[in-house]
Amino acid sequence: MRPPGEEVSPAVGSWAVNTTLLDACWGKPVERLPVWFMRQAGRCLPEYRALRERYGMFDIFRNPELAAEVTMQPVRRLGVDAAILFSDIVVPLAAVGIEIELQPGPVLAQPFRSSGDLARLRPLEPETDIPYVLDTVRLLAGELDVPLIGFAGAPFTLASYLIEGGSSKTLGRTKAAMHADPAFWAELLDRLADIVVASLRAQVEAGASAVQVFDSWVGLLSPADYRRSVLPATGKIFAGLEDLGVPRIHFGVGTGELLELLAEAGPDVVGVDWRVPLDRARGRLGHHVSVQGNLDPAVCLAPWDVVAREATAVLDANAGRPGHVFNLGWGVLPETDPATLRRLVDFVHGE
């Protein structure tokens, strides 16, 4: 509670800040379970849609006032315990000169086709390549009274866009490159890991209090392929962030068989989708990492009694163990009623 008359939200680090997200990430007990939603900014909020009628995606990403405003919209409306920076996983790739449009998914003018394309992936210099991202983070760090989560795409998921040139259900070309040319593949993922580390380090130095690495498409790989072809790069990322002392969250979709390997990469928290109940996920992950998740986002389209029942099932599966961040198992679906999300936040908070 703020003292009467206090108008300004204190920045993270001062006494009135809500740190339940950070505590849960570190496995500490919390008085109130923290909750936020992947893709909570944008998507289903009418105030976001109104802005989008006037501005393109990159116009918002590159304008710190607009990007900060969109980041704060769900904090105000939904009462979530964390903000996630409004940006996209392809922003650092565009910033090093890869031609990418969002239509709405990423589409590349010239997908990577051979090892010669590696020359197009130069290192990221955050202060000169993504100054608008860092200015957005600085603005938010001064305004928010909840932690700001910085983020990046993981090397495998970024590589899939570079090679496919857009979205793909099978990632056939990506996997073919991985199997056919291991030297090219290893170099590609290593360069992407360096870009991710540079971007996330800069976000934290600008004021982000936690980071999430999205490996959305990695669930298409077998454990053997993940270990051989992806783990070296994700391991490099989490090692490269360790000294910053902020919680590192690692998330992928359809990763039931990969959970142990995601933990082996070295994050503090593993995001779990709705397919694996949290008690089973914990059985695979062991005691050293926290868990985040994992209500099926589609449940939020159902009547409230179903939402409450399924949210209770998530809470029951975790059985009150410390080290749980409540979230959906993947991003908010665009057709979700924001009022349902608000009610869900209050429900998880026990209000």
Q: CB–CB of 273/254 below 8 Å? A: yes
Helix count (H) and strand count (E) of the chain? 16, 9
C-beta closer to ligand CP3: residue 99 or 279? 99
173 is catalytic: no
Residue 104 contacts ligand CP3 per CB under 6 A: yes
Q: Which of 33, 102, 186, 308 binds ligand CP3 (CB under 6 A)?
A: 102
Find the binding residues for ligand CP3 in span 257-286 (CB under 6 A). none
Minimum distance of ligand CP3 from residue 203's CB (angstroms) = 12
Minimum distance of ligand CP3 from residue 144's CB (angstroms) = 14
Minimum distance of ligand CP3 from residue 268's CB (angstroms) = 19
Residue 89 contacts ligand CP3 per CB under 6 A: yes
**Selected range binding ligand CP3 among 1-9, 97-105, 223-231, 294-302, rule: CB under 6 A:** 97-105
Strands in 175-217 per DSSP E: 210-215
Strand arrangement, sheet containing 269-271: 83-84, 148-153, 210-215, 248-252, 269-271, 290-295, 324-328
Helix or strand or coil: residue 249?
strand
The torsion angles phi and psi of 309, rounded to 5 degrees, stand at -65, -45
- Judge residue 39's burial from the number of C-beta atoms within 10 Å of its C-beta, 0-12 exposed, 13-18 middle, 19 or more buried: middle
C-beta closer to ligand CP3: residue 84 or 121? 84
Minimum distance of ligand CP3 from residue 102's CB (angstroms) = 4
Longest dimension (CA), the chain: 65
Q: Among 63, 219, 90, which residue's Cα sits nearest to residue 152? A: 90
Per-residue binder mask for ligand CP3 (CB under 6 A), 200-239, x = binder: --------------x-x-----------------------
**Selected range binding ligand CP3 among 83-91, 228-236, 268-276, 282-290, rule: CB under 6 A:** 83-91
Amino acid at 164: E
88 is catalytic: yes
Minimum distance of ligand CP3 from residue 316's CB (angstroms) = 26
Residues for the chain: how many in total? 351
Q: CB–CB of 148/85 below 8 Å? A: yes
Residue 191 contacts ligand CP3 per CB under 6 A: no
Minimum distance of ligand CP3 from residue 40's CB (angstroms) = 5
Cα–Cα distance for residue pair 176/180, rounded to 1 Å: 6
Find the binding residues for ligand CP3 in span 42-61 (CB under 6 A). 42-43, 57
Residue 36 contacts ligand CP3 per CB under 6 A: no
273 is catalytic: no
Crossing angle of helices 172-180 and 182-206, in 10° steps, is 110
Q: Among 324, 263, 313, which residue's Cα sits nearest to residue 34? A: 324
Q: Which of 12, 24, 25, 41 binds ligand CP3 (CB under 6 A)?
A: 41
The torsion angles phi and psi of 148, rounded to 5 degrees, stand at -100, 125
C-beta closer to ligand CP3: residue 65 or 279? 65
Amino acid at 304: W
Helix or strand or coil: residue 347?
helix
161 is catalytic: yes
**Selected range binding ligand CP3 among 7-15, 37-45, 220-228, 271-279, rule: CB under 6 A:** 37-45
* Count, residues near ligand CP3 per rule CB under 6 A: 21
Expressed in angstroms, the distance from the first to the final Cα of the chain is 16
**Which of the residues are catalytic?**
39, 43, 52, 88, 161
Binding residues (CB under 6 A) for ligand CP3: these are 38-43, 57, 84, 86, 88-89, 102, 104-106, 151, 157, 167, 214, 216, 331
